């Protein structure tokens, strides 16, 4: 797996080398490496840095170690043993970054047998040279007694050194030491001070802890409004504990106006986000949600559920510049949010208001589709399955993830080199539901371009015909592997007005790269497969129909 850190370190190291390494006898310099890297010639840049590493430059050796540890594009395969070899060469010259990296390798058992004693030794050498991450990691080992005798005083010492260099991880743990009285006299005021430093940097657990301290009045004056503010900071980044506690505050009217719809929204999010392993916490949020639901009218309940979906979208896709305690729902008069006994009448009937397509992408039943397909739905339904939950959305990429039952056939993404312009593709979906045949519709075409409007690299342009309802369906190469997700077609009427001509077969799909990045962010275990054995379009279509599904967006009529 390619690691972004490797790319950043590689760029930084080339800058460092420019200042400290003399031109090479064979004519290439680090400036040449920098130039090659910046124009995308990673192989050329890597060759120069590899040569420098072999000639003994410790910074280049660290960069090469990182490349072997994580893998560097397709040029360097992941090889932890080789990474350790380069780190040892640099560490032997006193390079602190290499010493810290060796500590990581020994601690995790990558490239060498796991050995906490050795990890502590290397962390200590780097820590004594001022590497904050090594100072924090050494403190953790003293805190837990891994590789060294448990010693809270020494843990405190190293946490403090790292914290004073700005390490948020060390600042958070230092707050915990004061909160629990480990290695120092218990001091909630000092704990709150360190938690606040991390919370103001966006640390979710620190925000949650600080909210709890304001709620209880520990280390700070009791202030429900401040507690709600910090809980909201955390809740808007996803932790179910903060979401549950914020729901309690809305239900009780502590620090916020009492609002049962919002209470249900936060309880609902907490119940859906709490891992199954944390059974007691999940059951608590479910009880809270159901208790509040019994006090809402069907209309209020539907509104609360819509709010939860929209809030989940905000959590998944924080907009640039958006403050983390953003609240998209304006306060309503207290009378409108007071408890209203649920009447005996049935909830409003739901009907299908639009349809789209999707396809299964994992053995656990995850379904990938477009965000606009499920936007504003009171219920999302797959006819062959029933109602399904919207697990995540990315409005910027126009992708959404649904959760269905496990075990059914699922698509694999194209492995290795991406699809090229001119390559044949097959698009599968359920367009114009109710007008065309009820089964999946199959169209064929080619990849026209590897970017969408405005050179948007998240999209690819295809010539396969696309109709309303096809959105969210798979675009497959001729080996049957997914290379995109149908998203839209060019508006022919608007283009005709603007250009005087009607465009033919100008359609778009979200690229496989963007789709896989979205699935990676949601920890979905999707599959990849090499595109070696080409198949006839009808064979690709037959296989695709097994994992492509119709999606119904249902709402009140």
Question: CA-CA distance, 302 to 158, in Å (whole number)?
Answer: 52
Q: Judge if pTM exceeds 0.75.
A: no
Question: CA-CA distance, 155 to 288, in Å (whole number)?
Answer: 40
Residue 234's closest CA among 257, 205, 194?
Answer: 205
Cβ 101 vs Cβ 9: under 8 Å: no
Average pLDDT, the chain: 81
Residue corresponding to tokens 């005083």: 153
Q: What is the pLDDT of residue 10?
A: 45
pLDDT above 50: residue 24: no
Residue 284's closest CA among 245, 323, 338?
Answer: 245
Compute CA distances 180 → 177, 192, 241, 471, whole Å: 5, 12, 20, 53
Helices vs strands, H then E, count in the chain: 22, 14
Q: How confident is the model at residue 337 (pLDDT cuts 50, 70, 90)?
A: very low
Average pLDDT, integer, range 448-466:
87
**HEC string for 147-190:** CCCCCHHHHHHHHHHHHHCCCHHHHHHHHHHHHHCCCCCCCHHH
SS3 393: strand
Q: What is the pLDDT of residue 21?
A: 37
Average pLDDT, integer, range 437-444:
75
Q: How confident is the model at residue 378 (pLDDT cuts 50, 70, 90)?
A: confident
Compute CA distances 507 → 57, 272, 347, 468, whole Å: 51, 36, 40, 12
Q: How confident is the model at residue 467 (pLDDT cuts 50, 70, 90)?
A: confident
pLDDT tens profile 91-141: 999 999 999 999 999 999 999 999 999 999 999 999 999 999 999 999 999
Question: CA-CA distance, 100 to 220, in Å (whole number)?
Answer: 37
Which has more confidence, 10 or 234?
234
Q: What is the pLDDT of residue 220?
A: 93
pLDDT tens profile 531-541: 988 999 999 99
Range scoring the smallest mean pLDDT among 9-23, 233-247, 459-473: 9-23
Q: What is the pLDDT of residue 317?
A: 62
Compute CA distances 401 → 112, 203, 437, 441, 523, whole Å: 39, 26, 26, 22, 11
Q: What is the pLDDT of residue 453?
A: 81
**CB-based contacts of 228, cutoff 8 Å, min separation 6:** 211, 246, 249, 254, 255, 256
Q: What is the pLDDT of residue 536?
A: 92
Q: How confident is the model at residue 88 (pLDDT cuts 50, 70, 90)?
A: very high
Question: CA-CA distance, 399 to 338, in Å (whole number)?
Answer: 36
Domains, the chain: 4-166 (1.25.40.10), 204-337 (1.25.40), 354-556 (2.40.10.120)
Q: Which helix (H) or strand (E) holds 316?
A: helix 298-316
Q: What is the pLDDT of residue 522?
A: 81
Could you give phi then psi for residue 467, rounded to 5 degrees? -125, 160
**HEC string for 26-66:** CCCCHHHHHHHHHCCCHHHHHHHHHHHHHCCCHHHHHHHHH
Take residue 236 and report the two structure tokens written for it. 């808007």
Take residue 155 and report the two structure tokens written for it. 């843990």
Question: CA-CA distance, 442 to 432, in Å (whole number)?
Answer: 13
Could you give phi then psi for residue 553, rounded to 5 degrees? -95, 120
What is the DSSP secondary structure assignment for residue 72, as one 8-state letter? B
pLDDT above 50: residue 551: yes
């Amino acid at each position: 797996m390619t690691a972004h850190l490797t790319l950043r370190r590689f760029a930084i190291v080339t800058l460092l080398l420019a200042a400290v390494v003399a031109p090479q006898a064979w004519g290439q310099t680090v400036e040449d490496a920098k130039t090659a890297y910046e124009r995308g010639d990673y192989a050329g840049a890597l060759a120069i840095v590899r040569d420098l590493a072999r000639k003994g430059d410790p910074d280049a050796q660290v960069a090469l170690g990182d490349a072997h540890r994580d893998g560097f594009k397709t040029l360097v395969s992941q090889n932890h043993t080789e990474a350790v070899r380069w780190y040892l060469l640099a560490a032997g010259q006193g390079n602190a970054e290499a010493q810290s990296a060796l500590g990581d390798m020994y601690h995790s058992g990558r490239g060498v047998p796991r050995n906490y004693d050795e990890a502590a030794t290397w962390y200590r050498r780097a820590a004594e040279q001022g590497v904050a991450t090594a100072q924090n990691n050494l403190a953790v080992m003293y805190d837990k007694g891994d590789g060294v005798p448990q010693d809270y005083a020494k843990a405190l010492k190293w946490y403090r050194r790292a914290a004073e260099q700005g390490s948020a991880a060390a600042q958070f743990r230092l707050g915990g030491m004061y909160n629990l009285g480990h290695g120092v006299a218990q001091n909630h005021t000092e704990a709150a001070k360190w938690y606040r430093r991390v919370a103001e940097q966006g640390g979710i657990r620190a925000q949650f802890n600080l909210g709890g301290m304001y709620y209880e009045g520990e280390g700070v004056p009791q202030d429900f409004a401040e507690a709600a503010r910090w809980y909201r900071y955390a809740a808007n980044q996803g932790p179910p504990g903060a979401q549950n506690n914020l729901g309690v505050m809305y239900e009780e009217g502590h620090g916020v106006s009492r609002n049962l719809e919002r209470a249900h929204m936060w309880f609902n999010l907490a119940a859906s986000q709490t891992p199954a392993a944390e059974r007691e916490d999940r059951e608590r949020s479910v009880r809270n949600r159901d208790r509040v639901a019994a006090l809402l009218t069907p209309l209020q309940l539907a509104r609360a559920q819509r709010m939860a979906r929209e809030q989940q979208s905000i959590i998944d896709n924080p907009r640039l510049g958006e403050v983390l305690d953003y609240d998209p729902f304006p306060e309503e008069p207290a009378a409108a949010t007071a408890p209203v006994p649920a009447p005996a009448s049935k909830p409003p009937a739901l009907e299908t208001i639009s349809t789209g397509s999707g396809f299964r992408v994992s053995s656990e039943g995850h379904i990938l589709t477009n965000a606009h397909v499920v936007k504003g739905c009171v219920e999302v339904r797959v006819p062959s399955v029933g109602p399904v939950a919207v697990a995540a959305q990315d409005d910027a990429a126009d992708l959404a993830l649904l959760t269905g039952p496990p075990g059914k056939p699922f698509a694999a993404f194209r492995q290795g080199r991406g699809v090229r312009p001119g390559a044949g593709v097959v698009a599968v979906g359920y367009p114009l539901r109710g007008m065309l045949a009820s089964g999946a519709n199959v169209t064929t075409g080619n990849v026209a371009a590897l970017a969408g409007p405005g050179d948007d690299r998240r999209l690819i342009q295809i010539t396969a015909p696309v109709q309303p309802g096809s959105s969210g369906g798979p675009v497959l190469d001729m080996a049957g592997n997914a290379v995109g997700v149908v998203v839209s077609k060019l508006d022919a009427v608007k283009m005709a007005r603007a250009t005087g001509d009607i465009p033919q077969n100008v359609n778009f799909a979200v690229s496989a790269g963007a789709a896989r990045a979205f699935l990676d962010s949601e920890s979905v275990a999707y599959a990849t497969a090499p595109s070696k054995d080409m198949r006839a379009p009808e064979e690709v279509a037959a296989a695709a129909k097994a994992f492509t599904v119709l999606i119904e967006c249902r709402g009140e009529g």
